[in-house]
Amino acid sequence: MNSLIQKRQFSAALYNYSCTSNPRVYFTLSRDGNKLGDLVFEVYQNHAPRTAENFIAFVKGTTAVGSYKGTTFTGGYPGIVLQGGRVTPCNQAADGGRLADEALQLRHVKRGFISMTNDGENANGSEF
């Protein structure tokens, strides 16, 4: 068990946000034209419905602003976090504005979690 979880006396089971009705999305990764594989994510629509809808719209490319297709990873820290997906210069939400904060109580407690960027109160955008 993770020592941080032990220190805080948390149970990892408390952080099971999954639900069978949540949608799954995937990104096909490639480098220099060579396919590396797919990353599959469960979108926690049961906890953050508007953010999930916005994210799925960018994945599908059904926004007037753009899609994640062809975007690159823009930064991160090896073994900790990757950043990518910038769709527009101003990092807009799919509806052209910024989204209200949702589900701020959710925590990244294991590998594979994905979040939308947030650069202030009620300022969620398109980058992940």
Q: For the segment 62-112, what is each residue's pLDDT rounded down to a tens digit?
A: 877 778 888 888 888 888 888 887 776 555 666 556 677 787 777 777 777
pLDDT in tens, 17-66: 888 999 999 989 888 989 999 989 999 999 889 888 888 888 888 877 77
Which residues are within 8 A (CB) of 53 and not within 5 positions of it... i.e. 6 or more apart?
A: 45, 94
pTM of the predicted model, to two decimals?
Answer: 0.72
For the chain, give every domain's residue range.
Answer: 17-128
* Rounded CA separation 111/26 (Å): 16
CATH domain 17-128 topology: Cyclophilin (2.40.100)
In the prediction, which pLDDT does 94 show? 60
Residue 48 CB burial class (10 angstroms; 0-12, 13-18, ≥19): buried
